[in-house]
Structure 1
Amino acid sequence: MTTQLLMIEDDARLAQMVGEYLTQSGFSVAHAGDGLGGLERLQGEGGGAAPDLVILDLMLPDIDGLEVCRRIRALPGSAAQVPVLMLTAKGDPMDRIIGLELGADDYLPKPFEPRELLARIRAILRRRTEGAAPSARCMRFGTLEIDRDARTVTIAGQPADLTSYQFDLLIALAERAGRVLTRDQIMEAVRGRELEAFDRSIDVHMGRIRAAIEADAKNPKRILTVRGVGYVFAKQQD
Protein backbone atom coordinates (compact mmCIF):
# COMPACT_ATOMS: atom_id res chain seq x y z
CA MET A 1 0.00 0.00 0.00
CA THR A 2 1.32 3.44 -0.96
CA THR A 3 2.22 5.70 1.94
CA GLN A 4 0.04 8.82 2.00
CA LEU A 5 1.63 12.20 2.76
CA LEU A 6 -0.12 15.53 3.27
CA MET A 7 1.88 18.69 2.64
CA ILE A 8 0.42 21.87 4.15
CA GLU A 9 2.36 24.61 2.38
CA ASP A 10 1.25 27.93 0.86
CA ASP A 11 4.17 28.09 -1.60
CA ALA A 12 2.55 26.29 -4.54
CA ARG A 13 5.78 26.09 -6.53
CA LEU A 14 7.68 24.52 -3.63
CA ALA A 15 4.82 22.14 -2.91
CA GLN A 16 4.75 21.02 -6.55
CA MET A 17 8.50 20.47 -6.67
CA VAL A 18 8.56 18.53 -3.39
CA GLY A 19 5.42 16.60 -4.32
CA GLU A 20 6.93 15.46 -7.60
CA TYR A 21 10.15 14.40 -5.90
CA LEU A 22 8.35 12.42 -3.19
CA THR A 23 6.00 10.85 -5.74
CA GLN A 24 9.02 9.63 -7.70
CA SER A 25 10.26 8.14 -4.42
CA GLY A 26 7.11 6.03 -4.05
CA PHE A 27 4.80 8.20 -1.96
CA SER A 28 1.36 9.57 -2.67
CA VAL A 29 1.30 13.30 -1.89
CA ALA A 30 -1.74 15.51 -1.28
CA HIS A 31 -1.42 19.27 -0.91
CA ALA A 32 -3.29 21.90 1.07
CA GLY A 33 -2.44 25.55 0.60
CA ASP A 34 -3.46 26.73 4.06
CA GLY A 35 -3.86 25.46 7.60
CA LEU A 36 -7.63 25.15 7.67
CA GLY A 37 -7.63 23.25 4.38
CA GLY A 38 -5.06 20.86 5.78
CA LEU A 39 -7.12 20.27 8.92
CA GLU A 40 -10.17 19.54 6.78
CA ARG A 41 -8.23 16.89 4.86
CA LEU A 42 -7.06 15.34 8.11
CA GLN A 43 -10.64 15.06 9.31
CA GLY A 44 -11.73 13.32 6.12
CA GLU A 45 -13.55 16.24 4.54
CA GLY A 46 -13.43 16.20 0.77
CA GLY A 47 -12.57 12.50 0.57
CA GLY A 48 -9.14 10.98 0.07
CA ALA A 49 -7.11 8.60 2.17
CA ALA A 50 -5.99 9.62 5.66
CA PRO A 51 -2.34 10.70 5.61
CA ASP A 52 0.40 8.64 7.23
CA LEU A 53 2.48 11.78 7.81
CA VAL A 54 2.01 15.55 7.60
CA ILE A 55 4.64 17.95 6.27
CA LEU A 56 3.66 21.24 7.88
CA ASP A 57 5.00 24.69 7.01
CA LEU A 58 5.29 27.12 9.89
CA MET A 59 4.26 30.22 7.95
CA LEU A 60 0.76 29.89 6.47
CA PRO A 61 -1.68 32.55 5.23
CA ASP A 62 -4.57 31.84 7.60
CA ILE A 63 -3.39 30.19 10.83
CA ASP A 64 0.26 29.45 11.45
CA GLY A 65 1.79 26.01 11.58
CA LEU A 66 2.08 26.05 15.36
CA GLU A 67 -1.69 26.46 15.68
CA VAL A 68 -2.27 23.78 13.05
CA CYS A 69 -0.03 21.39 15.02
CA ARG A 70 -1.90 22.17 18.23
CA ARG A 71 -5.24 21.47 16.54
CA ILE A 72 -3.97 18.23 15.03
CA ARG A 73 -3.02 16.93 18.47
CA ALA A 74 -6.50 17.86 19.71
CA LEU A 75 -8.33 15.92 16.96
CA PRO A 76 -10.37 12.88 17.97
CA GLY A 77 -9.18 9.33 17.42
CA SER A 78 -6.15 8.26 15.40
CA ALA A 79 -5.94 11.54 13.46
CA ALA A 80 -4.34 13.13 16.52
CA GLN A 81 -1.43 10.66 16.37
CA VAL A 82 -0.33 11.37 12.79
CA PRO A 83 3.39 12.23 12.68
CA VAL A 84 4.13 15.89 11.92
CA LEU A 85 7.33 17.09 10.28
CA MET A 86 7.47 20.86 10.60
CA LEU A 87 9.23 23.15 8.12
CA THR A 88 10.71 26.14 9.93
CA ALA A 89 12.64 29.29 9.08
CA LYS A 90 16.38 28.72 9.22
CA GLY A 91 18.00 30.21 12.29
CA ASP A 92 14.82 30.48 14.35
CA PRO A 93 15.28 27.89 17.14
CA MET A 94 12.42 29.24 19.28
CA ASP A 95 9.81 28.31 16.67
CA ARG A 96 11.29 24.81 16.51
CA ILE A 97 11.15 24.44 20.27
CA ILE A 98 7.55 25.64 20.43
CA GLY A 99 6.63 23.28 17.60
CA LEU A 100 8.13 20.33 19.45
CA GLU A 101 6.33 21.36 22.63
CA LEU A 102 3.05 21.36 20.70
CA GLY A 103 3.66 17.84 19.44
CA ALA A 104 5.68 17.99 16.22
CA ASP A 105 7.81 14.87 15.71
CA ASP A 106 10.66 16.52 13.87
CA TYR A 107 11.58 19.74 12.09
CA LEU A 108 13.54 20.74 9.01
CA PRO A 109 14.83 24.30 8.48
CA LYS A 110 14.24 26.04 5.15
CA PRO A 111 15.81 26.04 2.66
CA PHE A 112 16.32 22.28 2.58
CA GLU A 113 17.50 19.59 0.23
CA PRO A 114 14.66 17.30 -0.95
CA ARG A 115 16.91 14.34 -0.18
CA GLU A 116 17.12 15.35 3.47
CA LEU A 117 13.35 15.77 3.63
CA LEU A 118 12.97 12.28 2.19
CA ALA A 119 15.43 10.87 4.74
CA ARG A 120 13.56 12.52 7.61
CA ILE A 121 10.22 11.18 6.37
CA ARG A 122 11.57 7.66 6.02
CA ALA A 123 13.13 7.81 9.50
CA ILE A 124 9.84 8.87 11.10
CA LEU A 125 7.85 6.21 9.26
CA ARG A 126 10.46 3.55 10.04
CA ARG A 127 10.21 4.29 13.74
CA ARG A 128 6.47 3.73 13.55
CA THR A 129 6.69 0.41 11.76
CA GLU A 130 9.74 -1.28 13.23
CA GLY A 131 8.62 -4.04 15.52
CA ALA A 132 10.19 -5.21 18.72
CA ALA A 133 11.69 -8.60 19.38
CA PRO A 134 8.97 -11.10 20.42
CA SER A 135 10.32 -11.23 23.98
CA ALA A 136 10.13 -7.47 24.49
CA ARG A 137 6.85 -6.39 22.91
CA CYS A 138 5.48 -5.08 26.19
CA MET A 139 7.61 -3.54 28.91
CA ARG A 140 6.43 -2.91 32.47
CA PHE A 141 8.02 -0.74 35.11
CA GLY A 142 5.75 -0.67 38.14
CA THR A 143 2.50 0.96 37.02
CA LEU A 144 4.09 2.11 33.76
CA GLU A 145 3.36 -0.14 30.78
CA ILE A 146 4.79 0.37 27.29
CA ASP A 147 3.15 -1.66 24.51
CA ARG A 148 5.42 -1.62 21.47
CA ASP A 149 2.94 -3.27 19.11
CA ALA A 150 0.05 -0.95 19.93
CA ARG A 151 2.47 1.96 20.43
CA THR A 152 0.70 2.95 23.61
CA VAL A 153 1.83 3.95 27.10
CA THR A 154 -0.35 3.61 30.19
CA ILE A 155 0.08 4.59 33.83
CA ALA A 156 -1.98 2.42 36.17
CA GLY A 157 -4.20 1.62 33.20
CA GLN A 158 -4.67 5.24 32.15
CA PRO A 159 -3.31 6.28 28.73
CA ALA A 160 -0.38 8.68 28.53
CA ASP A 161 -0.43 11.11 25.60
CA LEU A 162 2.82 10.99 23.62
CA THR A 163 3.71 11.82 20.03
CA SER A 164 5.25 9.14 17.82
CA TYR A 165 8.71 10.61 18.32
CA GLN A 166 8.29 10.90 22.09
CA PHE A 167 7.15 7.27 22.22
CA ASP A 168 10.35 6.23 20.44
CA LEU A 169 12.47 8.32 22.79
CA LEU A 170 10.82 6.59 25.74
CA ILE A 171 11.47 3.18 24.16
CA ALA A 172 15.14 4.08 23.58
CA LEU A 173 15.52 4.95 27.27
CA ALA A 174 13.47 2.06 28.63
CA GLU A 175 15.43 -0.50 26.61
CA ARG A 176 18.57 0.78 28.31
CA ALA A 177 17.11 1.18 31.81
CA GLY A 178 19.80 1.95 34.37
CA ARG A 179 22.28 3.11 31.76
CA VAL A 180 23.17 6.81 31.53
CA LEU A 181 22.81 8.07 27.95
CA THR A 182 24.07 11.31 26.50
CA ARG A 183 21.73 13.42 24.37
CA ASP A 184 23.73 12.41 21.30
CA GLN A 185 23.29 8.69 22.08
CA ILE A 186 19.56 9.08 22.61
CA MET A 187 19.05 11.05 19.40
CA GLU A 188 21.21 8.63 17.44
CA ALA A 189 19.23 5.65 18.76
CA VAL A 190 15.95 7.19 17.65
CA ARG A 191 16.66 9.40 14.71
CA GLY A 192 19.58 7.56 13.20
CA ARG A 193 21.63 10.71 12.64
CA GLU A 194 24.09 12.75 14.64
CA LEU A 195 22.78 15.48 16.91
CA GLU A 196 22.86 18.92 15.30
CA ALA A 197 25.06 21.52 16.99
CA PHE A 198 23.24 23.29 19.83
CA ASP A 199 20.11 21.20 19.23
CA ARG A 200 18.09 21.30 22.48
CA SER A 201 15.00 19.57 21.12
CA ILE A 202 15.81 16.47 23.18
CA ASP A 203 15.22 18.45 26.38
CA VAL A 204 11.88 19.72 25.11
CA HIS A 205 10.74 16.19 24.34
CA MET A 206 11.95 14.88 27.69
CA GLY A 207 9.91 17.53 29.42
CA ARG A 208 6.82 16.44 27.49
CA ILE A 209 7.43 12.76 28.29
CA ARG A 210 7.86 13.53 31.98
CA ALA A 211 4.62 15.52 31.99
CA ALA A 212 2.87 12.46 30.58
CA ILE A 213 4.35 9.67 32.72
CA GLU A 214 5.55 11.24 35.98
CA ALA A 215 3.37 11.95 38.99
CA ASP A 216 5.38 15.15 39.43
CA ALA A 217 7.28 16.25 36.33
CA LYS A 218 9.38 18.66 38.38
CA ASN A 219 10.47 15.84 40.69
CA PRO A 220 10.79 12.89 38.28
CA LYS A 221 11.24 9.30 39.45
CA ARG A 222 11.34 7.54 36.10
CA ILE A 223 13.46 9.68 33.78
CA LEU A 224 16.32 11.23 35.70
CA THR A 225 18.69 13.97 34.56
CA VAL A 226 22.38 13.31 35.05
CA ARG A 227 23.85 16.79 35.18
CA GLY A 228 26.45 17.42 32.51
CA VAL A 229 25.85 14.04 30.87
CA GLY A 230 22.30 13.25 29.82
CA TYR A 231 19.44 11.06 31.05
CA VAL A 232 18.86 7.69 32.67
CA PHE A 233 15.66 5.63 32.86
CA ALA A 234 15.31 4.26 36.40
CA LYS A 235 15.12 0.47 36.67
CA GLN A 236 13.22 0.50 39.97
CA GLN A 237 9.97 2.44 39.89
CA ASP A 238 6.80 2.78 41.95
Structure 2
Amino acid sequence: MTSEIETGGEGAAVAQAFAALSDMFRGRRALLLEDDPSLAEHVAERLLRAGFDAVDRFEAGESALAAGTAVAYDVMILDRMTLGLDGLTTLKRLREGGGPSATAPALMLTALGGESQKVEGLLGGADDYLAKPVGDEELLARVAAQLRRSPRHARPSSADIVNGPFRLSPGARTLKLETTGPDGAAASRLIDLSPLEFAIVAELMQARGQPVTKTMLWDRCWVEWKFLPDNFVNIIDARISALRRRLKEQAPEIGEDLHPLIVSARSQSLIFRDLDV
Protein backbone atom coordinates (compact mmCIF):
# COMPACT_ATOMS: atom_id res chain seq x y z
CA MET A 1 0.00 0.00 0.00
CA THR A 2 2.76 2.47 0.79
CA SER A 3 3.99 2.37 -2.79
CA GLU A 4 0.64 3.82 -3.87
CA ILE A 5 0.74 6.82 -1.53
CA GLU A 6 1.58 10.36 -2.54
CA THR A 7 4.90 11.76 -1.41
CA GLY A 8 5.89 15.30 -0.61
CA GLY A 9 4.56 17.64 2.08
CA GLU A 10 1.46 15.55 2.67
CA GLY A 11 3.22 12.18 2.48
CA ALA A 12 3.76 11.73 6.21
CA ALA A 13 0.09 12.28 7.07
CA VAL A 14 -1.02 9.89 4.36
CA ALA A 15 1.50 7.21 5.32
CA GLN A 16 0.33 7.53 8.91
CA ALA A 17 -3.27 7.03 7.80
CA PHE A 18 -2.50 3.79 6.01
CA ALA A 19 -0.37 2.62 8.91
CA ALA A 20 -3.46 3.13 11.09
CA LEU A 21 -5.37 0.80 8.77
CA SER A 22 -2.80 -1.89 9.47
CA ASP A 23 -3.39 -1.41 13.18
CA MET A 24 -7.14 -1.71 12.68
CA PHE A 25 -6.82 -4.85 10.53
CA ARG A 26 -4.36 -6.62 12.84
CA GLY A 27 -5.92 -9.67 14.48
CA ARG A 28 -8.91 -9.61 12.12
CA ARG A 29 -10.42 -12.50 10.21
CA ALA A 30 -12.40 -12.14 7.00
CA LEU A 31 -14.79 -14.45 5.15
CA LEU A 32 -14.47 -14.17 1.38
CA LEU A 33 -17.09 -15.75 -0.91
CA GLU A 34 -15.81 -15.53 -4.49
CA ASP A 35 -15.89 -18.26 -7.15
CA ASP A 36 -13.30 -16.62 -9.43
CA PRO A 37 -10.04 -18.14 -8.13
CA SER A 38 -7.77 -15.39 -9.47
CA LEU A 39 -9.92 -12.60 -8.03
CA ALA A 40 -10.28 -14.43 -4.72
CA GLU A 41 -6.52 -14.83 -4.49
CA HIS A 42 -5.99 -11.14 -5.29
CA VAL A 43 -8.49 -9.88 -2.70
CA ALA A 44 -7.18 -12.25 -0.03
CA GLU A 45 -3.59 -11.24 -0.71
CA ARG A 46 -4.43 -7.54 -0.45
CA LEU A 47 -6.26 -8.01 2.84
CA LEU A 48 -3.44 -10.06 4.31
CA ARG A 49 -0.82 -7.58 3.14
CA ALA A 50 -2.86 -4.76 4.67
CA GLY A 51 -2.78 -6.44 8.08
CA PHE A 52 -5.52 -9.09 8.30
CA ASP A 53 -4.49 -12.22 10.20
CA ALA A 54 -6.63 -14.59 8.15
CA VAL A 55 -8.88 -14.63 5.08
CA ASP A 56 -11.01 -17.76 4.68
CA ARG A 57 -11.91 -18.24 1.01
CA PHE A 58 -14.98 -20.07 -0.28
CA GLU A 59 -16.28 -20.68 -3.79
CA ALA A 60 -19.73 -21.99 -2.85
CA GLY A 61 -22.39 -20.29 -0.76
CA GLU A 62 -23.09 -23.44 1.26
CA SER A 63 -19.48 -23.60 2.43
CA ALA A 64 -19.46 -19.92 3.37
CA LEU A 65 -22.74 -20.36 5.25
CA ALA A 66 -21.35 -23.29 7.25
CA ALA A 67 -18.20 -21.33 8.11
CA GLY A 68 -20.10 -18.17 9.10
CA THR A 69 -22.38 -20.26 11.30
CA ALA A 70 -19.40 -21.68 13.18
CA VAL A 71 -16.79 -18.90 13.16
CA ALA A 72 -16.95 -15.28 14.35
CA TYR A 73 -15.72 -13.21 11.40
CA ASP A 74 -14.90 -9.53 11.68
CA VAL A 75 -16.06 -8.80 8.13
CA MET A 76 -17.61 -10.71 5.22
CA ILE A 77 -17.01 -9.98 1.53
CA LEU A 78 -19.51 -11.73 -0.72
CA ASP A 79 -20.01 -12.09 -4.45
CA ARG A 80 -23.62 -12.36 -5.51
CA MET A 81 -23.24 -14.86 -8.38
CA THR A 82 -21.64 -17.92 -6.79
CA LEU A 83 -21.83 -21.69 -6.95
CA GLY A 84 -24.80 -23.17 -5.11
CA LEU A 85 -26.30 -20.54 -2.85
CA ASP A 86 -25.81 -17.05 -4.23
CA GLY A 87 -24.08 -14.50 -2.02
CA LEU A 88 -27.22 -12.58 -1.07
CA THR A 89 -29.09 -15.73 -0.02
CA THR A 90 -26.03 -16.82 1.94
CA LEU A 91 -25.97 -13.48 3.76
CA LYS A 92 -29.69 -13.57 4.51
CA ARG A 93 -29.37 -17.03 6.06
CA LEU A 94 -26.36 -15.94 8.10
CA ARG A 95 -28.28 -12.92 9.38
CA GLU A 96 -31.34 -15.04 10.24
CA GLY A 97 -29.34 -17.86 11.79
CA GLY A 98 -28.10 -15.88 14.78
CA GLY A 99 -24.65 -17.49 14.66
CA PRO A 100 -21.33 -15.88 15.60
CA SER A 101 -21.14 -13.96 12.31
CA ALA A 102 -24.81 -12.96 12.14
CA THR A 103 -24.05 -9.31 12.90
CA ALA A 104 -20.67 -9.05 11.17
CA PRO A 105 -20.44 -6.23 8.62
CA ALA A 106 -20.93 -7.51 5.07
CA LEU A 107 -19.82 -6.02 1.77
CA MET A 108 -21.22 -7.28 -1.52
CA LEU A 109 -18.49 -7.33 -4.19
CA THR A 110 -20.21 -8.18 -7.46
CA ALA A 111 -20.60 -7.47 -11.14
CA LEU A 112 -24.31 -6.78 -10.53
CA GLY A 113 -24.00 -3.03 -10.15
CA GLY A 114 -27.39 -1.66 -11.23
CA GLU A 115 -29.25 0.67 -8.88
CA SER A 116 -32.07 -1.82 -8.26
CA GLN A 117 -29.51 -4.56 -7.57
CA LYS A 118 -27.68 -2.33 -5.07
CA VAL A 119 -30.93 -1.53 -3.31
CA GLU A 120 -31.81 -5.23 -3.21
CA GLY A 121 -28.43 -6.05 -1.71
CA LEU A 122 -28.56 -3.34 0.94
CA LEU A 123 -32.12 -4.22 1.90
CA GLY A 124 -31.09 -7.88 1.94
CA GLY A 125 -28.63 -7.35 4.79
CA ALA A 126 -25.46 -5.95 3.20
CA ASP A 127 -23.78 -2.99 4.89
CA ASP A 128 -22.06 -1.84 1.71
CA TYR A 129 -22.24 -2.69 -1.98
CA LEU A 130 -19.33 -2.51 -4.42
CA ALA A 131 -19.60 -3.07 -8.15
CA LYS A 132 -16.69 -4.80 -9.86
CA PRO A 133 -14.11 -3.81 -10.81
CA VAL A 134 -12.98 -1.99 -7.67
CA GLY A 135 -9.50 -0.72 -6.81
CA ASP A 136 -7.52 -2.07 -3.88
CA GLU A 137 -7.52 1.30 -2.14
CA GLU A 138 -11.31 1.58 -2.40
CA LEU A 139 -11.85 -1.93 -1.07
CA LEU A 140 -9.55 -1.47 1.93
CA ALA A 141 -11.11 1.88 2.81
CA ARG A 142 -14.61 0.40 2.59
CA VAL A 143 -13.62 -2.52 4.82
CA ALA A 144 -12.10 -0.11 7.33
CA ALA A 145 -15.25 2.01 7.31
CA GLN A 146 -17.38 -1.01 8.19
CA LEU A 147 -15.02 -2.11 10.96
CA ARG A 148 -15.20 1.37 12.49
CA ARG A 149 -18.99 1.08 12.54
CA SER A 150 -19.06 -2.44 13.97
CA PRO A 151 -19.92 -2.89 17.69
CA ARG A 152 -16.24 -3.25 18.57
CA HIS A 153 -15.63 0.34 17.43
CA ALA A 154 -19.09 1.82 17.86
CA ARG A 155 -19.67 5.13 19.59
CA PRO A 156 -22.83 7.23 19.98
CA SER A 157 -23.49 9.16 16.80
CA SER A 158 -24.10 12.32 18.86
CA ALA A 159 -20.73 12.15 20.64
CA ASP A 160 -18.39 15.04 19.95
CA ILE A 161 -15.24 14.28 17.98
CA VAL A 162 -12.10 16.11 19.08
CA ASN A 163 -9.13 16.41 16.76
CA GLY A 164 -6.44 18.73 18.10
CA PRO A 165 -8.10 22.15 18.58
CA PHE A 166 -11.18 21.17 16.57
CA ARG A 167 -14.41 19.93 18.16
CA LEU A 168 -17.05 18.54 15.83
CA SER A 169 -20.57 18.08 17.26
CA PRO A 170 -22.63 15.83 14.95
CA GLY A 171 -25.85 16.47 16.85
CA ALA A 172 -25.55 20.27 16.71
CA ARG A 173 -23.86 20.07 13.29
CA THR A 174 -21.13 22.50 14.35
CA LEU A 175 -17.36 22.63 14.06
CA LYS A 176 -15.54 24.75 16.64
CA LEU A 177 -11.93 25.80 17.05
CA GLU A 178 -10.97 25.71 20.73
CA THR A 179 -7.86 27.66 21.74
CA THR A 180 -6.16 29.10 24.79
CA GLY A 181 -5.51 32.84 24.93
CA PRO A 182 -2.33 34.58 26.15
CA ASP A 183 -3.88 34.87 29.61
CA GLY A 184 -4.60 31.17 29.72
CA ALA A 185 -8.32 31.59 29.20
CA ALA A 186 -10.08 29.09 26.97
CA ALA A 187 -11.77 30.40 23.85
CA SER A 188 -14.06 28.75 21.33
CA ARG A 189 -14.91 29.97 17.84
CA LEU A 190 -17.44 28.55 15.42
CA ILE A 191 -16.11 27.59 11.97
CA ASP A 192 -18.56 28.77 9.31
CA LEU A 193 -19.40 25.87 6.98
CA SER A 194 -22.18 25.17 4.51
CA PRO A 195 -24.27 22.02 5.11
CA LEU A 196 -22.34 20.15 2.42
CA GLU A 197 -18.99 21.30 3.79
CA PHE A 198 -19.98 20.20 7.28
CA ALA A 199 -21.04 16.79 5.93
CA ILE A 200 -17.65 16.39 4.25
CA VAL A 201 -15.69 17.43 7.34
CA ALA A 202 -17.84 15.16 9.52
CA GLU A 203 -17.18 12.11 7.33
CA LEU A 204 -13.44 12.79 7.27
CA MET A 205 -13.12 13.52 10.99
CA GLN A 206 -15.18 10.49 11.95
CA ALA A 207 -12.63 8.39 10.07
CA ARG A 208 -10.09 9.37 12.74
CA GLY A 209 -7.20 10.18 10.42
CA GLN A 210 -7.84 7.22 8.13
CA PRO A 211 -8.57 7.43 4.38
CA VAL A 212 -12.05 7.96 2.98
CA THR A 213 -12.38 7.30 -0.74
CA LYS A 214 -14.05 9.80 -3.00
CA THR A 215 -16.80 7.39 -3.96
CA MET A 216 -17.57 6.87 -0.26
CA LEU A 217 -17.63 10.62 0.25
CA TRP A 218 -19.96 11.08 -2.72
CA ASP A 219 -22.34 8.37 -1.48
CA ARG A 220 -22.61 9.94 1.97
CA CYS A 221 -22.46 13.68 1.30
CA TRP A 222 -24.01 14.28 -2.13
CA VAL A 223 -27.18 12.46 -1.08
CA GLU A 224 -29.45 14.49 -3.34
CA TRP A 225 -27.82 12.89 -6.39
CA LYS A 226 -29.44 9.61 -7.39
CA PHE A 227 -26.57 8.50 -9.64
CA LEU A 228 -22.80 8.76 -9.92
CA PRO A 229 -21.96 11.27 -12.69
CA ASP A 230 -18.90 10.75 -14.85
CA ASN A 231 -17.34 13.95 -13.52
CA PHE A 232 -18.02 13.27 -9.82
CA VAL A 233 -14.29 13.37 -9.01
CA ASN A 234 -14.01 16.85 -10.52
CA ILE A 235 -17.02 17.99 -8.47
CA ILE A 236 -15.45 16.65 -5.27
CA ASP A 237 -12.02 18.08 -6.06
CA ALA A 238 -13.46 21.55 -6.63
CA ARG A 239 -15.39 21.43 -3.36
CA ILE A 240 -12.38 20.12 -1.41
CA SER A 241 -10.17 22.87 -2.85
CA ALA A 242 -12.62 25.52 -1.67
CA LEU A 243 -13.01 23.81 1.72
CA ARG A 244 -9.25 23.75 2.24
CA ARG A 245 -9.10 27.50 1.65
CA ARG A 246 -12.04 28.13 3.99
CA LEU A 247 -10.45 26.11 6.81
CA LYS A 248 -7.13 27.90 6.35
CA GLU A 249 -8.79 31.32 6.43
CA GLN A 250 -10.86 30.54 9.51
CA ALA A 251 -8.21 28.68 11.49
CA PRO A 252 -5.10 30.90 11.26
CA GLU A 253 -3.91 29.51 14.61
CA ILE A 254 -3.13 26.20 12.90
CA GLY A 255 0.50 26.17 11.80
CA GLU A 256 1.26 26.72 8.13
CA ASP A 257 2.99 23.34 8.00
CA LEU A 258 -0.31 21.59 8.82
CA HIS A 259 -2.20 23.08 5.90
CA PRO A 260 -3.98 21.83 3.96
CA LEU A 261 -5.84 20.09 6.75
CA ILE A 262 -7.44 17.78 4.19
CA VAL A 263 -4.79 15.79 2.32
CA SER A 264 -4.93 13.35 -0.59
CA ALA A 265 -3.81 9.74 -0.90
CA ARG A 266 -3.18 9.30 -4.61
CA SER A 267 -6.30 10.45 -6.45
CA GLN A 268 -8.77 8.17 -4.75
CA SER A 269 -8.84 9.01 -1.03
CA LEU A 270 -8.95 11.98 1.31
CA ILE A 271 -7.79 12.31 4.91
CA PHE A 272 -8.36 14.94 7.58
CA ARG A 273 -5.04 15.23 9.37
CA ASP A 274 -4.79 13.66 12.79
CA LEU A 275 -3.77 16.67 14.88
CA ASP A 276 -3.49 14.70 18.11
CA VAL A 277 -0.23 12.98 17.20
TM (normalized to structure 1)?
0.56
Match of 1:89 in 2: 111
**What displacement does 1:53 show?**
0.5
For structure 1, list consecutive stretches of 5 or more residues without a partner in the other structure.
138-174, 201-238
Match of 1:33 in 2: 59
Q: Distance in 1 between matches of 2:114 and 2:75?
A: 23
Contact 2:69 2:99 in 1 (8 A): no
* Paired letter, 1:130: H
For structure 2, list consecutive stretches of 5 or more residues without a partner in the other structure.
1-25, 161-169, 175-194, 220-224, 229-277
**What displacement does 1:64 show?**
1.5
**What displacement does 1:105 show?**
0.3
Measured against aligned partners, the alpha-carbon deviations of 1:172-197 in whole angstroms (never above 9, x if no partner) come to xxx52799x88x949x6478532245
Measured against aligned partners, the alpha-carbon deviations of 1:41-98 in whole angstroms (never above 9, x if no partner) come to 1112xxxx52110000011121212211211110124421011000122541211100
Q: Distance in 1 between matches of 2:124 and 2:131?
A: 17
Match of 2:134 in 1: 112
* Paired letter, 2:171: R
Match of 1:21 in 2: 46
Match of 2:171 in 1: 176
**What displacement does 1:24 show?**
0.8
* Paired letter, 2:118: R
Match of 2:27 in 1: 2
The structure-2 alpha-carbon separation of the partners of 1:40 and 1:78, relative to structure 1 and needing over 3 Å to count, comes to closer
| Equivalent of residue 52 in structure 1, options 74, 78, 89 | 74
The structure-2 alpha-carbon separation of the partners of 1:78 and 1:177, relative to structure 1 and needing over 3 Å to count, comes to farther
SS of alignment partner, residue 102 of structure 2: helix
**What displacement does 1:136 show?**
5.6
Once the two structures are aligned, what percentage of the paired residues are identical? Answer: 37
Number of residues paired by the alignment?
157
RMSD: 3.3
The structure-2 alpha-carbon separation of the partners of 1:36 and 1:130, relative to structure 1 and needing over 3 Å to count, comes to same
**What displacement does 1:102 show?**
1.1
Measured against aligned partners, the alpha-carbon deviations of 1:9-45 in whole angstroms (never above 9, x if no partner) come to 111111011111111111121101111110011112x
When Rg is computed on C-alpha atoms for both structures, the one with the higher figure is 2
TM (normalized to structure 2)?
0.49
Contact 1:90 1:111 in 2 (8 A): no
Contact 2:76 2:107 in 1 (8 A): yes
Q: Distance in 1 between matches of 2:100 and 2:147?
A: 15
SS of alignment partner, residue 79 of structure 1: coil
* Paired letter, 1:76: G
* Paired letter, 2:108: M
The structure-2 alpha-carbon separation of the partners of 1:61 and 1:125, relative to structure 1 and needing over 3 Å to count, comes to same
